[in-house]
Amino acid sequence: MAFNISRGYCMLSFSLKTFAILFFLVAGLFSVPVSSSACTGMRVIAKDGSVVWARSMEFGNYIDSALMVSPHGLQWTSPTPNDGHGLQWTAKYGFVGPNGFNLKVPLEGMNEKGLYAGGFWMKEGETKFPGVKPADYPNTVAQTHIIAWLLTNFATIDEVKAALPKIHVAGVEVEAIHQVVLCHWYVMDATGKAAVIESINGEVTITDNPVGVFTNAPSFEWHLTHLRQFINLRPDNVDSAQIGDYKALSLGEGTGLLGLPGDFTPPSRFVRAAVFANSVLQPDDADAAVALGMNLIAGFAISKGISRGVGGDGKPEYDYTQWTTVYDFARKAVYVRTYENQNYKVVHFDKLPMDGGKNLIIPLGQDYGTYEDVSDQAR
């Protein structure tokens, strides 16, 4: 991705009083309740066609996740509003992916065929699910079960596009957090082809994703439009600039990306992820792609206390990166690390009972990691 520099500047003159007012207005933002909406995902495609997806999960309080191992052949039933029964289906494919709050549905995951699906939190007012009548319940999939429906039924983006218009999408309350969770979804197949599923103003759409990254609110189309404001950015350094008779020399590396947003809001993370994922040197193979995905997503980790808010119960919340996943589509493996344990663990599909009769769980926990002692290697 190449970006050309082209900017306009304006100069403002502030009185000390004006500066003080603005300072306290900005500082006041830190006491405003914030939602947990800081997840980021990035695609990597190697020269040999190997595909990798790296994603972080942020939330304001501990969500108690574990890796679900869900076999093919399992029976699924979606809930509906008013405690009804929605679409029922039998899983064609098994999948692996993390859940949350001990729920029996994934927050994201990859299936046996290499289809990935993941939900990304949306703020209230940014998305709206369609109204669904009781007569439509037998063909309704709740937003809580969209990911499971996608992972257990489809192998490619084209299949998803063909099937999505045939169902109704409804919003149901998640008892663990006492609210109708709002989200939009990123879907990608083993070729790296990606799409975004959203419900804006009650209309469900699926849109191709040409940049291979994703975050939270607003809508995907808004993010693409916003990206146009940063077409000046490029990975190549700027050594100097002539300003009148003065030659300004660069202060170091990274001058081509001056102006890249560095905060943790969804729009800024989207821009940063798009620039990073599409500027890095393309890796040779799956091993290099996995390593690159781990390095890329590490730059989006949020430590406790950097993002502060107040929850619905009036207690402080600290949005932080609870876990990070890296999916190897070529070799069907999932790497995962937690906030406490920064050492990645790996799960290989070919070592799992994908033809079992029930969901299995691999704990993630909050234990701190152990580190290899290489003291005896000193020479």
The DSSP line for 67-116 is: EEEE-TT-EEEEE-GGG-EEEEEE-SS-EEEE-STT-SS-SEEEETTS-E
In-domain check, residue 298 = yes
Residue 278: exposed, middle, or buried by beta-carbon count in 10 A (0-12, 13-18, 19+)?
middle
Q: Which amino acid is at 241?
A: A
Q: What DSSP state is assigned to residue 137?
A: G
In-domain check, residue 26 = no
Q: Give the model's pLDDT for residue 2.
A: 44
Residue 248: CB atoms within 10 Å: 12
In-domain check, residue 378 = no
Which residues in the chain show pLDDT less than 50? Answer: 1-35
Which residue's structure tokens are 């998305």?
A: 127
In-domain check, residue 256 = no
| Close Cβ partners of 236 (under 8 Å, ≥ 6 residues apart) | 2, 256
- Roughly what angle, to the nearest 10 degrees, separates helices 286-298 and 266-277? 150
Q: Give the model's pLDDT for residue 179.
A: 86
Q: What total number of domains does the chain contain?
A: 1
- Element (DSSP H or E) covering residue 36: none
Distance separating alpha carbons of residues 182 and 162, to the nearest angstrom: 24
Q: What DSSP state is assigned to residue 16?
A: H
Q: What DSSP state is assigned to residue 127?
A: B
pLDDT digits (tens, 9 = 90+) for 333-356: 999 999 999 999 999 999 999 998
Q: Give the model's pLDDT for residue 36.
A: 52
User: Could you give the C-alpha distances from 335 to 107, 193, 325, 344, in angstroms and in order?
Assistant: 15, 21, 6, 6
Q: Give the model's pLDDT for residue 285.
A: 98
Distance separating alpha carbons of residues 191 and 216, to the nearest angstrom: 24
- Element (DSSP H or E) covering residue 300: none
Buried b (16+ CB within 10 A) or exposed e, 12-36: eeeeeeeeeeeeeeeeeeeeeebbb
For the record, the structure tokens of 196 come out as 């975004």
Q: What DSSP state is assigned to residue 143?
A: G
Distance separating alpha carbons of residues 34 and 123, to the nearest angstrom: 10
For the record, the structure tokens of 192 come out as 């790296």
Asked whether 106 and 148 are in contact (CB, 8 A), the reply is yes
For the record, the structure tokens of 249 come out as 């020399």
In-domain check, residue 374 = no
Written in H, E and C, the secondary structure of 160-187 is HHHHHHHCEEECCEECCCCEECCEEEEE
In-domain check, residue 318 = yes
In-domain check, residue 258 = no
In-domain check, residue 238 = no
- Roughly what angle, to the nearest 10 degrees, separates helices 220-227 and 266-277? 60
Distance separating alpha carbons of residues 133 and 124, to the nearest angstrom: 22
Q: In terms of residue numbers, what domain contains 359?
A: 34-231+280-368
What is the CATH classification number for the domain harbouring 342? 3.60.60.10
Cross-strand pairs, 95: 70, 111
pTM of the prediction? 0.89
Q: Give the model's pLDDT for residue 178.
A: 83
Q: Give the model's pLDDT for residue 13.
A: 35
